[in-house]
Structures are given as C-alpha cells and as structure tokens.
Amino acid sequence: MKRILKLSILPLLFLSAIACSDDDNKTVVADVTAPVLISPQDGSSVVLDPDLQDNPGLTLVWNHGAYDVATPINYNIEIAASGTDFDSIVSPGLTTTNRVYAFTVAELNGIATRAGLTPFESGKLDVRVVASLGDNQNLAMTSNVITINVTPYTTESPKLYLRGNFTGASGYGPDWGDNTTPPFLEAAAYGETAFEGYIYMNVAAPEFKFIPTNVGFTGDYGDADATGASGVLVQEGETNIKPGGAGYYLIQADTEELTYSVTPTSWGVIGSSTAATTGGDGWGSDADMTYDATSKTWKITMPLAAGELKFRANNAWAINYGDAGRDGTLDFNDSTNINVPTAGNYVITLDLSHPRAYTYTLTAQ
C-alpha cells in the first residue's frame, strides 16, 4: 500500500517542477502607468503663420509613463487626421525620452499638410503618445488622445496646366494625355483664380485645354464656342482652345470669371542704352530679340551704352517689364528702368518660362 502511495505522488511532483520552471521565465512588471497628455488641452486651436515658420507652433507635455524596470522610456508621438483611428500616422519617427516635445510652425504645418488639411481652413488632428521600454518598443502603453484644431498654410500658388497638340513640338514633352509634366500658368497666391504664363506653341494650328492638375483631364476647361476662340471658358460641352497659329503667347485665364485670353508676343529691348542700335535717344524703337527653344529664353547680343533699358512686347507699351528691386527679377509695367552701369557688348537674356517669376541677365562679353 505504501508503494502505491509513493507512485501516486510522482505526477504531482513532476507538474510542480514544470510550474516552477515556467514562472522563473516570466517577466513580472508591476505598477505600470501609461503616459497622460496634459498640454495642450483637448480642443485647442492653432493658426499657423507662414511669416513665422521658425517660431514655436505647438508644445506637447505629458506625464511620464511608469514601469518598475530601470530602463529608459521612449516616447513615440503619433499624429493622424482626426477620426481615422491612427490608421495613417503623419508624424513618423518622432521619438524622445523627455516628456516635452515642441514643434515649429513649419514642422506642424508639414504634418497638417500630410494629414490632408486644407490650407487656411481649420481642420482637426488627433494626437497621442506611446511609451515603450528600450529600443525594441517592449511593453508599449498608449496615452489618452487629444484633438487639436489646426489652420495650416501654403506658400505655393495654384497652377493651371495646358494639355494639347503643341507640347511635343515645342519642348514641353508628349502631346495631350501622355504628358506628365505639361506647361502651366500660375496664380499670384493661394486662393487666387487669375492665372498667367508665357507658352511657346511651335505648330501651325495649336489646340489645348486647361487642366486643374497635371494628371488626366478631370475638371478640364475648354472654349464655350465651336470656333475655340470666344475667350469664354466652360467645363461641359467645351471645345479645344485654338489660338490660330504658331507663336509665343501670353496666356491668361480666370477660373472664377470663366474667361481667358491668348496674346501673341515677340520681344525686344528699348532704352537709352540701345541708342547705338535703335537710333535717336533709344526710346523710339526696339532691338528685336530671338527666341531660343532649347533654353526657353529670348536673347540678343548687342552693344549697350551706360544708361537704362526695358523689355517690351510687340513694339508697344501694353506689355512691358522693368526691375523695381534692381535684383534681376522683372516687374510688369513698372516705371523703374533697368540700369546698365557700364558700356560694352552684352548678351541680353529674357526668361519668361517660369510663370510670375520672370527674370533677365545682362552678361558683358
């Protein structure tokens, strides 16, 4: 009977040994507390100013997470568009061992932009902090979530792209829909609807449409008339816009007024510095420039006297440029003439290929 009792307790001893072995391999963490975001308050609002990009934009403060293991705690700051349950984190790589993190205006604006917030309109971002131990993000704990209202900005002006049958022959890439980098017009600032730009069309019968983006034809604008030359824009039942011939055009369009204009231009220089070439005091007629399709610039090499000059189109003053800042940047119809300090032979270059950022150079030979 004693033999039977000894045998019956062997399985119990074996199970006890296994249980003790499993417990020895477990890591027990007591008194674990998740971090708590305490500033800013939930629902706070931030309006970002493009003139203050290096200034503080938002400072997050949280209570430390508490572990009973003496290991540095890492904090990952996670930000996402509000209501998305953090499915797409727009603040990757923001990690600190502190309990404070400050964003500049520019940094927060970049995050808001990646989250899809609309410039100059208030939108919501969700913010949380995830604590973890060591580099392996062990024992992660997530803080409370706060929502902040952010009004982002943009320094980019809207663009209006041109797709047509002229781009391949004019140095702008393939014609029509195969072109992923079509030429474009640009507005003066975000929210503006008046666009302009200079476009070269090197085909006998150019045709094109205006497209809001550089991909596809969604939202395209064409002419309201079958002739393609009415100057009126529509988005339904439109025809292609048809300037009527090859040329270098100043193109203007207003997507709110639904109007456009296509003005052929040829360019020259005029002024007291050009008198040796143009006669008289130099202000009576232009020295004609030649378009270089490779560099997309207008050029002329000519002698200049010390004095002044301006650029103008079509031998008239309706379209002319001076340099108000004397900085190589052109200003439309500005009264400040371009200074030529020293007489000599110059290569004069006029670059109108970047909408609303027109430049020139005077290079002595």
Q: Give the model confidence (pLDDT) of 260-290 as tens digits.
A: 999 999 999 999 999 999 999 999 999 999 9
Q: Which residues pair with 288 in a beta bridge?
A: 268
| pLDDT at site 27 | 36
Is the CB of residue 156 less than 8 Å from the CB of residue 189? no
pTM of the model: 0.74
Give the pLDDT band (50/70/90) at residue 67.
Answer: confident
Is the pLDDT confidence value at 41 over 90? yes
Q: Do domains 36-151 and 267-364 have the same CATH topology?
A: yes
Q: What is the DSSP string of 56-82?
A: EEEEEEEEPPB-SS-SPEEEEEEEEET
Q: HSE, CB side, 13 Å, CA atoms: give it for residue 169.
A: 12
| pLDDT at site 14 | 33
Give the pLDDT band (50/70/90) at residue 100.
Answer: very high
Cis amide leading into 40 (omega within 30): yes
CA gyration radius, the chain: 34
Does domain 267-364 bear CATH number 2.60.40?
yes
Q: Which two tokens stand for residue 190?
A: 């975000």
Is the CB of residue 210 less than 8 Å from the CB of residue 218? no
CB atoms within 10 A of CB 312: 21
What CATH number is given for 159-264 in this structure? 2.60.40.3620
| pLDDT at site 264 | 98
Is the pLDDT confidence value at 81 over 80? yes
> What is each CA distance from 218 to 134, 209, 212, 251, 341, in whole angstroms?
50, 11, 8, 21, 51
Question: Region 100-119: what's the mean pLDDT?
Answer: 96
Domain spanning 36-151, CATH class: mainly beta
Please name the amino acid found at residue 346.
Y
- Element containing residue 24 per DSSP (H, E): helix 2-24
Give the pLDDT band (50/70/90) at residue 139.
Answer: confident
What is the Cα–Cα distance from 315 to 318, expressed in whole angstroms? 9
Is the pLDDT confidence value at 19 over 50? no
| pLDDT at site 26 | 36
> Which residue in this structure is represented by tokens 């400040």?
336
226-242: per-residue pLDDT in tens? 999 999 999 999 999 99
| pLDDT at site 137 | 63
Q: Looking at per-residue confidence, does 321 or 66 come out higher?
A: 321
Q: What is the DSSP string of 212-233?
A: SSSSSSTT-BEESSTTS-SSBE
Is the pLDDT confidence value at 104 over 60? yes
List Cβ neighbours of 9 (8 Å cut-off, separation of 6 or more): none
Q: For the chain, what percent of residues have pLDDT higher than 90? A: 82
Would you call 215 exposed, middle or buried from its count of C-beta atoms within 10 A (0-12, 13-18, 19+)? exposed
| pLDDT at site 8 | 35
287-305: per-residue pLDDT in tens? 999 999 999 999 999 999 9
Give the pLDDT band (50/70/90) at residue 162.
Answer: very high
Q: Which of 188-192, 264-268, 348-352 comes out lowest in average pLDDT?
A: 188-192
| pLDDT at site 64 | 85
The beta strand positions in 319-364, using DSSP E, are 320-322, 331-332, 338-340, 344-351, 359-364
- Where along the chain do its domains lie? 36-151, 159-264, 267-364
Is the CB of residue 274 less than 8 Å from the CB of residue 280? no
In eight-state DSSP terms, residue 174 is S
| pLDDT at site 136 | 59
Q: How far, rounded to the nearest angstrom, does the alpha carbon of residue 11 sit from its chain's CA centroid?
A: 73
Query: Average pLDDT, whole number, for the chain?
Result: 90
CB atoms within 10 A of CB 67: 19
| pLDDT at site 30 | 43
Q: Which residues of 101-123 are buried (b: 16+ CB within 10 A; e: fewer)?
A: bebbbbbbbebbebbebebeeeb
What is the Cα–Cα distance from 123 to 90, expressed in whole angstroms? 14
C-alpha dihedral over 234, 239, 241, 242, to 10 degrees? Answer: -150
| pLDDT at site 71 | 74
| pLDDT at site 215 | 87
> What is each CA distance from 222 to 84, 87, 170, 234, 242, in whole angstroms?
38, 40, 21, 6, 10
| pLDDT at site 31 | 54
Q: Which two tokens stand for residue 38?
A: 């305490």
Question: Region 23-29: what's the mean pLDDT?
Answer: 38
